[in-house]
Chain A
């Protein structure tokens, strides 16, 4: 289970933000509700710049459109209006420059752990030996050593998610998109995963965008926390978390930032609840 890297940077400073990597300008997303045919505005006039090798956590009330935004970055969701670009080129579809990790792991049960992780490299026609060497590096860093030949069905949830993370990193995308990566794990497993993987994110040298429900996850893991409003999504909070790593959930600075983000978020959730109650004839 231990993901001991070769060296463990103590109190590593937060890297200075690099060049703009992902630029979203005036993003709008509307879709038609299938039940009543009404037009729903999911995202309205959203601007967000994510810099190279920045770890950004996006948090917001459920159904606020944060996952939709992540799927836009991945190239799977169309944009109704606005521009979304990466390295100055518009995002038009999925590509191997962006890796994605889903809440529900999405492993390939017919492949062993090693073969799951080499798949991306196989797709890029990397020779087998080279692909395996690359996979083994990430197997070591994610704490999967000894499980190379196991089938996913034999693994616990936490181990499955380690495989999914290693798989997304192994083919060396520039951007890693995490869609509620710890949402399906129990509290205990989640705690260890967040702690064990702290150094992994630093050593990966990737731009990381994580969507999450959990304020503590966001504050412990990310360089920057962005809070989306309830639908239609706008940015209502955007702050850097200048706390040295590794971060401890009990560090007063971490707790302070968690409180700050929680206040913004709960005010938004309250607003959303009141609005829904007003619309719902049963809720007073």
Chain B
């Protein structure tokens, strides 16, 4: 209520200022509990309430992380991150290339949909990691297996969302453009794509998140040298819990960055601009 009153009273410039102040406040509200958790964690371990060898304090985890970047020969931590990012993003990209056209086709073709959708509903809930041994015996250890498993993790959410996005477009929407004499490709680019975008974006988010989750397990089982999953798993041999936690924290941070910055930017440029004004209408 108050922001609206401020906006009306002081005009556009202060409305912008109020907007950035609001964003700052939202940022603080988000960061504060996370810092609080880290502080409690640190104190609990320092006070000796928890065994520091099992749960190292955040300060030591951070120190270990820096050490792995700056005091190793090839900045080994960055190598792990680089390999993991490459695999997750490659798997996601292949999933998009496969699922997007397939999703549009299934969304538009009723017969194909009736045949394929039961198969999809069986495969969708299946955890992709379950396929890892199959790929291990056919493709062996390494990137091919890991990317294949992550692909299976990413492809179904993207496919499912694309189909839903296309099917949810009201037929009258297509009638309106066909009445304008729109050629097929224009119906596709000017209507089907933008109309399904909100749902497709949700599919992308889910797809990358699934790819990222699947990656850790796949790397534990199939990686030979690098990757965050591999790093966490390899550290168990030395009881090196600090390194394990460096991996866990990085997985959380990178996942967060994907979700909020990568897709957030695209959403602000498109969907939120189109749909975010509902309150103004009478």
Q: How far is the CA of A122 from the CA of B186 in the complex (A)?
A: 10
- Which chain B residues (244-282) contact chain A, with CB distance < 8 Å? 270, 273-278, 280-282
A96 contacts B176, C-beta separation under 8 Å: no
B276: nearest chain-A partner, CB-CB: A153
| Contact present for B277 and A96 (CB under 8 Å) | no
Residue from the set A110, A119, A120 with the largest chain B CB neighbour count within 10 Å: A110
| CB of B190 closer than 8 Å to a CB of A | yes
Complex contact A109–B274 (CB within 8 A): yes
Q: Are A94 and B273 in contact (CB under 8 A)?
A: no
B183 partner residues in chain A, CB cutoff 8 A = 123
How far is A108 from B196 in the complex, measured between Cα atoms in Å? 12
The answer to whether the Cβ of B182 comes within 8 Å of any Cβ in the partner chain is yes
User: Nearest Cβ in chain A — how far from B262, in angstroms?
Assistant: 21
Cα separation A173 to B179 with both chains bound (whole Å)? 9
Given contacts A106-B170, A106-B172, A109-B275, contact A154 B270 (CB under 8 A): no
Complex Cα spacing A94 to B274, Å: 28
* List of A residues within 8 angstroms of B122 by Cβ: none
Name which residue of chain B comes closest to A120, CB basis: B180
Q: Would B278 and A94 count as touching, CB distance under 8 A? A: no
Q: Is B173 an interface residue (CB 8 A)?
A: yes
For B, the interface residue count at a CB cutoff of 8 angstroms equals 28
Interchain CB contact under 8 A, A74 and B173: no
Q: Closest A-chain residue to B279, C-beta based? A: A154
- A201 near B: Cβ within 8 Å? no
Residues 135-185 of B at the A interface (beta carbon under 8 Å)? 170, 172-173, 175-183
Mark out the residues of chain A between 44 and 90 whose CB falls within 8 Å of any chain B CB in the assembled complex.
74, 76
Chain B interface residues toward A at CB < 8 A: 170, 172-173, 175-183, 186, 190-191, 194-195, 197, 270, 273-278, 280-282
* Given known A151-B274, A153-B274, contact A108–B178 (CB-CB < 8 A): no
Q: A119-B180, A120-B180 are in contact. Are A154 and B280 (CB under 8 A)?
A: yes
The yes or no answer to A284 lying at the interface (CB within 8 A) is: no
Q: In the bound complex, do residue B179 and residue A153 qualify as a contact, i.e. CB atoms below 8 Å apart?
A: no
CB contacts (< 8 Å) of B172 on chain A: these are 102, 104, 106
Instruction: Flag if B282 contacts A94 (CB, 8 Å).
Output: no
Question: Using Cβ atoms and an 8 Å threshold, which residues of chain B touch A76?
Answer: 175, 178
Q: Are B181 and A96 in contact (CB under 8 A)?
A: yes
A sample of 16 more A-B contacts (CB under 8 A), given A95-B179, A106-B176, A157-B281, is A76-B175, A76-B178, A94-B175, A96-B179, A99-B179, A106-B175, A108-B173, A108-B191, A109-B274, A110-B270, A123-B177, A123-B181, A123-B190, A151-B273, A155-B281, A156-B282
> A98: CB under 8 A from chain B?
yes
> Shortest beta-carbon distance, B183 to chain A, in Å?
8
User: Nearest 3 pairs between A and B by C-beta?
Assistant: A96-B181, A120-B180, A154-B277
Tell yes or no: A182 within 8 A of B by CB: no
Q: Which residues of A contact B191 (CB under 8 A)?
A: 108
* A258 CA / B186 CA spacing, docked (Å): 44
Q: Does A171 contact B (CB under 8 A)?
A: yes
Contact B274 A110 (CB under 8 A): yes
Interface centre among B170, B175, B180 (most CB of A within 10 A): B180
Q: Known contacts A102-B172, A104-B172; decide if A153 and B277 are in contact (CB<8 Å).
A: yes
Partner of A95, one of B176, B181, B195: B181
A74 with B180: in contact, given A109-B274, A153-B275 (CB under 8 Å)? Answer: no
8 Å CB contact of B281 from A98, A122, A154? A154
Bound Cα distance from A108 to B197, whole angstroms: 12
* Interface residue ranges of A102-132 to B (CB < 8 Å): 102, 104, 106, 108-110, 119-120, 122-124
CB-contacts of A14-36 with B (<8 A): none
Q: How far is the CB of A219 from chain B (nearest CB, A)?
A: 27
- Which residues of chain A are within 8 angstroms of B173 by Cβ–Cβ distance? 106, 108
Nearest neighbor of A150 in chain B, beta-carbon distance: B277
The answer to whether B278 and A153 touch across the interface, beta carbons within 8 angstroms, is yes
- Give min CB distance, A128 to chain B, whole Å: 14
Contacts of A99 in B (CB 8 A): 179-180
Q: Which residues of A contact B186 (CB under 8 A)?
A: 123
